[in-house]
Amino acid sequence: MSTYCISNIYGDYEGYATMLRKIKFCDRDMLYVIGNIIDKGNESLKILRDMMMRINVIPIIGSHEYMAVQCLKYLMKCKEHPDEYPDEAMSRLILDWQYAGGQSTIDEFHKLNKEEQEDIIDYLEEFSLYEEINVKGRDYILVHGGFDNFDPERDPEDYHIDEVVFAVPDYSRIYFKDKTLLTAGELCSSIKNNPVPDRIYKQNNHIAINCGGGNNLAAICLDNMKEYYLTGQ
C-alpha cells in the first residue's frame, strides 16, 4: 500500500488518467486529491465521476470547488425557478468563477440530467476541508491553501473555510514542529528559494505540490517521497 497526493488537475481527464497509470495506482493504495480538480479543461465532471467510484480516493476542497458548489446549486435553483435573478454577491461569484475557468464546468453540468447534477453537487459538498494522516510514522496535514491567521494553539477545525482554501502560506515559516504541512494552492514556481521552481517544494516542514497542472501535473508518494510528473521524470 502506498499513499499519494496530487492536485490542480483542472479538468484534464487524460492527464489525470495518465498520472494514475504512471504511479501504478491500485485498490490497495490511497490517493488524496488536494483541490482544483475542476475547471479550465473540458472533462472536469468526468474526473469527478471517476473519483466518486473509488473509495480509496479522498478529495480535499480547493478554491475552484468552493466556487463551483455554490454556483452549481444556484444554477439548479434557477432551472426550477426561471424568474429568479441572482443578487449582487452571487452575480459576482459566478463571474469570478467563469473568469477562473468555470465556464467549461458549467457547460458540462448543463448536459447532465437532474439526478446526475444532484450527485455531482452532493459529492462536492462531501469534500474535506483538510485531512490529517500518518504515513510511515510521519504526520501530515493536507490542505489546499493553508491557514490564515495561524495560531499553533488553534485547532484546524476552528478555521473558517476562507482562511483555509484561499490562504497562501509563508514557506519560510515552520507552522507545525511535529507535522508536515502539504499544500497545493500556491504555484511551486512562485515560492521564494525553491531550488527547482517548476518542481515539488520540500523544506521547512512544508511540501507544496502545485506545479501548474497540464504537462507539469505532479504527484508525490508520501511513503518514499518519490515525485512524479507527466513530463521530465
* pLDDT at site 39: 97
Distance between CA atoms of residues 102 and 98, nearest Å: 4
* pLDDT at site 89: 87
Q: Is 48 helix (H, G, I), strand (E, B) or coil?
A: helix
The overall average pLDDT reported for the chain is 94
Q: Which residue has the higher pLDDT, 87 or 11?
A: 11
pLDDT digits (tens, 9 = 90+) for 19-78: 999 999 999 999 999 999 999 999 999 999 999 999 999 999 999 999 999 999 998 887
Q: Is the dihedral angle over the CA atoms 10, 11, 12, 15 positive or is it negative?
A: positive
pLDDT digits (tens, 9 = 90+) for 165-183: 999 999 999 999 899 999 9
Point out which residues pair with 142 in neighbouring strands.
Answer: 131, 182
One-character DSSP codes across 51-80? HHT-TTEEEE--HHHHHHHHHHHHHHHHHH
* pLDDT at site 127: 98
pLDDT digits (tens, 9 = 90+) for 120-168: 999 999 999 999 999 999 999 999 999 999 999 999 999 999 999 999 9
Does the pLDDT at position 83 exceed 80? no
* pLDDT at site 222: 98
pLDDT digits (tens, 9 = 90+) for 95-107: 999 999 999 999 9
* pLDDT at site 90: 87
* pLDDT at site 233: 54
Phi first, then psi: what are they for 47, rounded to 5°?
A: -65, -45
